[in-house]
Structure 1
Amino acid sequence: MLLACLGPEHASNILAHLREAEIDRLTLDIASMGTIDPEIKAKVFDEFFQMAEAKRFVAEGGIELAKELLEKSFGAQKAVEILGRLQSSLQEVPFQFLKKADPAQISSFIQEEHPQTIALILAHLEPKVSALALSSLPPETQTDVIYRIATMDRTAPEIIHEVEHVLERKMAAVFTQGFTFAGGVKEVAEILNLVERSAEKNIMEKLQERDADLANEINKLMFTFDDLVYVDDAGIQKALREIDSKDLALALKSSTDEVKEKIFKNMSERAREMLKEEIEFMGPVRLKNVEEAQQRIVAVIRRLEESGDLIITGRGEGGGEEILV
Structure 2
Amino acid sequence: MVSTELEVAPMSGAQKAAVLLMQVGQENAAKVLSHLRPAEIEELTAEILRLRSVSPEIAGVVLEEFHGMIASPLRGGLGGLDFAQSLLEGALGAEGAAEVLGRVAEAAIVQPFQFLHQADPQQILTFLTGEHPQTIALVVAHLRPDQASMILGGLSPDMQADIALRIATMEATSSEYVRLVEDVVQRRTSTVLQAKTNTAVGGVQPLVDIINRADRGTERSILEGLATKNSALAEEIRALMFVFEDITTLDDRAIQLVLRGVETADLATALKGVTDTVRDKILKNVSERARENLIDEIELLGPVRMSAVEESQQKVVAIIRQLEESGQIVLTRGGDDDFVA
TM class by smaller structure: 0.7 to 0.9
CA spacing shift, 1:272–1:321, aligned 2, 3 Å: closer
Q: Which residue of 2 aligns with 1:32?
A: none
Q: Which residue of 2 aligns with 1:119?
A: 137
Q: Which residue of 1 aligns with 2:163?
A: 145
CA spacing shift, 1:65–1:289, aligned 2, 3 Å: farther
For the 8 Å contact 2:153–2:218, the answer to whether it is kept is yes
CA spacing shift, 1:52–1:242, aligned 2, 3 Å: farther
CA spacing shift, 1:73–1:108, aligned 2, 3 Å: closer
Task: Compute the displacement of 1:323 (Å).
Answer: 7.4
Match 1:176 to one of 192, 195, 198: 195
Q: Distance in 2 between matches of 1:66 and 1:236?
A: 57
Residue range with higher mean Cα deviation, 49-58 or 295-304: 49-58
Task: Compute the displacement of 1:114 (Å).
Answer: 1.5
CA spacing shift, 1:81–1:169, aligned 2, 3 Å: closer
1:283 aligns with 2:329: no
Residue 189 of structure 2 aligns to a residue whose secondary structure is coil
CA spacing shift, 1:50–1:145, aligned 2, 3 Å: same
Match 2:319 to one of 300, 309, 313: 300
CA spacing shift, 1:305–1:73, aligned 2, 3 Å: closer
CA spacing shift, 1:159–1:265, aligned 2, 3 Å: same
Q: Which residue of 2 aligns with 1:207?
A: 226
1:49 aligns with 2:29: no
CA spacing shift, 1:73–1:302, aligned 2, 3 Å: closer
Task: Compute the displacement of 1:81 (Å).
Answer: 9.2
Q: Which residue of 2 aligns with 1:192?
A: 211
CA spacing shift, 1:96–1:302, aligned 2, 3 Å: closer
Match 1:14 to one of 8, 13, 17: 8
CA spacing shift, 1:230–1:73, aligned 2, 3 Å: closer
Residue 215 of structure 1 aligns to a residue whose secondary structure is helix
Q: Distance in 2 between matches of 1:110 and 1:299?
A: 28
Q: Distance in 2 between matches of 1:67 and 1:286?
A: 66
Q: Which has the larger Rg?
A: 2
Q: Distance in 2 between matches of 1:175 and 1:121?
A: 15
Identity of aligned residues (%): 41
Letter in structure 2 aligned against 1:109? F
CA spacing shift, 1:69–1:208, aligned 2, 3 Å: farther
Q: Distance in 2 between matches of 1:251 and 1:62?
A: 66
Q: Give the total of aligned pairs.
A: 279
Task: Compute the displacement of 1:195 (Å).
Answer: 0.8
Higher helix fraction: Structure 1 or Structure 2?
1
Q: Which residue of 1 aligns with 2:57?
A: none
Task: Compute the displacement of 1:287 (Å).
Answer: 3.0
Letter in structure 2 aligned against 1:14? V
Match 1:155 to one of 173, 177, 201: 173
Q: Which residue of 2 aligns with 1:39?
A: none
Q: Which residue of 2 aligns with 1:246?
A: 265
Task: Compute the displacement of 1:159 (Å).
Answer: 2.1
For the 8 Å contact 2:172–2:201, the answer to whether it is kept is yes
Letter in structure 1 aligned against 2:227? Q
Q: Which residue of 1 aligns with 2:37?
A: 71
Q: Which residue of 2 aligns with 1:95?
A: 113
Residue deviations 1:95-154, cap 9 Å, x none? 122122111100101111121111000001110111111111111100110110000111
Q: Distance in 1 between matches of 2:126 and 2:195?
A: 23
Letter in structure 2 aligned against 1:159? Y
Letter in structure 2 aligned against 1:259? V
For the 8 Å contact 2:137–2:166, the answer to whether it is kept is yes
RMSD: 3.4
For the 8 Å contact 1:119–1:145, the answer to whether it is kept is yes
Q: Distance in 2 between matches of 1:303 and 1:260?
A: 22
Residue range with higher mean Cα deviation, 287-296 or 224-233: 287-296
Q: Distance in 2 between matches of 1:62 and 1:149?
A: 47
For the 8 Å contact 2:33–2:41, the answer to whether it is kept is no
CA spacing shift, 1:309–1:172, aligned 2, 3 Å: closer
Residue deviations 1:66-116, cap 9 Å, x none? 87655267699x899997896356423211221221111001011111211
